[in-house]
Structure 1
Amino acid sequence: TDTSTDTSTTGGERREFTCNYLFMCSGYYSYKAGHTPEFAGIEQFQGTVVHPQQWPEDLDYAGRRVVVVGSGATAMTLIPAIAKTAAHVTMLQRSPTYVAAGPDKDVIANTLRKVLPAKAAYAVTRKKNIALQQFIYGQSRTKPARMKANLIKRVRKALGPDYDVATHFTPTYNPWDQRLCLVPNGDLFDAINSGRASVVTDHIDTFTPTGIRLQSGEELAADIVVTATGLELVTLGEMRFVVDGEPVDFAQTWTYKGFAYSGVPNLASSFGYINASWTLRADLTCEYVCRLLNHMATTGTVQCTPRLRPEDAGMPERPWIDGFTAGYMQREMHRFPRQGDHEPWINPQSYTRDKKMFRTSALEDGAMQFTSARMPVAHTG
Structure 2
Amino acid sequence: MSTQTQVRESVRSPGKAEHFDVLIVGAGISGIGGAYHLQTQTPGKSFVILEQLDGFGGTWWSHRYPGIRSDSDLYTFGYRFKPWTSAPIASAEEILKYMGEVIEENDLARHIRYNHTITHAEWSSADNLWTVEAVRKDTGETLRFTCNFLWMCQGYYRQNQGYTPEWPGMSDYKGKIVHPQEWPEDLDYKGKKVICIGSGATAATVVPAIAADVAHVTLVQRSPTFFVPGRNADELADTLRLLQVDETWIHEIVRRKRLYDQDLFTRRAVEEPDVVKEELLAGVRAFLPEDVVQKHFMPKYRPWQQRIAFVPDGDLFQGVIAGKASVVTGEIERFTEKGLKMKSGEEIEADIILTATGFNLNAFGDIDFVVDGKPVAASDTVTYRGMMFTGIPNMIWVMGYFRASWTLRADLIGDFVCRLLQHMDEKGAKKIEVVMGPEEEKLERLPWIDPDNFNPGYLARGMHLMPKRLPKWEWQHTQDYWREKDEFPQINLDGSEFKYS
Alignment of 1:258-273 (within 5 A): 258-273=386-401
The answer to whether residue 289 in structure 2 is matched with residue 137 in structure 1 is no
Q: Which runs of 5+ in 2 are unaligned?
A: 1-124
The answer to whether residue 248 in structure 2 is matched with residue 119 in structure 1 is yes
Letter in 1 for 2:472: H
Corresponding residue for residue 375 of structure 1: none
Alignment of 1:212-223 (within 5 A): 212-223=340-351
Query: Matched residue of 1:265: which SS?
Result: coil
Letter in 2 for 1:96: P
Distance 2:402 2:129 in 1: 32
* TM-score for both structures, normalised by structure 1: 0.95
The answer to whether residue 133 in structure 2 is matched with residue 7 in structure 1 is yes
Q: Deviations over 1:82-110 (max 9, x none)?
A: 10100001000111001120222212112
Corresponding residue for residue 466 of structure 2: 336
Which of residues 292, 303, 306 in structure 2 aligns to 1:175?
303
The answer to whether residue 349 in structure 2 is matched with residue 229 in structure 1 is no
Q: Are 1:296 and 1:302, in contact at CA under 8 Å, matched by a contact in 2?
A: yes
Q: Are 1:33 and 1:54, in contact at CA under 8 Å, matched by a contact in 2?
A: yes
Q: Which runs of 5+ in 1 are unaligned?
A: 372-381
The answer to whether residue 238 in structure 2 is matched with residue 238 in structure 1 is no
Letter in 1 for 2:478: P
RMSD of the TM alignment (CA)? 1.2
Q: Deviations over 1:223-278 (max 9, x none)?
A: 00000110011111111100011001211211011101012100001110001111
The answer to whether residue 488 in structure 2 is matched with residue 358 in structure 1 is yes
Distance 2:283 2:427 in 1: 56
Higher relative CO (Cα under 8 Å, sequence separation at least 6) belongs to: 1
Identical-pair percentage: 43
Query: Matched residue of 2:327: which SS?
Result: strand
Deviation at 1:343, TM superposition (A): 4.1
Larger deviation, residues 141-150 vs 109-118: 109-118
Runs of 4+ in 1 over 4 A off after TM superposition: none
Larger deviation, residues 173-182 vs 46-55: 173-182
Distance 1:355 1:166 in 2: 39
Corresponding residue for residue 159 of structure 1: 288
Deviation at 1:153, TM superposition (A): 2.2
Distance 1:356 1:151 in 2: 30
Letter in 2 for 1:120: W
Corresponding residue for residue 456 of structure 2: 326
Q: Are 1:257 and 1:344, in contact at CA under 8 Å, matched by a contact in 2?
A: yes
Which of residues 275, 278, 282 in structure 1 aligns to 2:406?
278
Distance 1:301 1:113 in 2: 48
Q: Are 1:97 and 1:181, in contact at CA under 8 Å, matched by a contact in 2?
A: no
Distance 2:474 2:267 in 1: 23
Distance 2:391 2:473 in 1: 16
Letter in 1 for 2:479: Q
* TM-score for both structures, normalised by structure 2: 0.72
Q: Are 1:112 and 1:121, in contact at CA under 8 Å, matched by a contact in 2?
A: yes
Q: Are 1:251 and 1:335, in contact at CA under 8 Å, matched by a contact in 2?
A: yes
Letter in 2 for 1:147: V
Distance 1:260 1:153 in 2: 42
Q: Are 2:160 and 2:182, in contact at CA under 8 Å, matched by a contact in 1?
A: no
Query: Matched residue of 1:134: which SS?
Result: helix
Corresponding residue for residue 109 of structure 1: 237
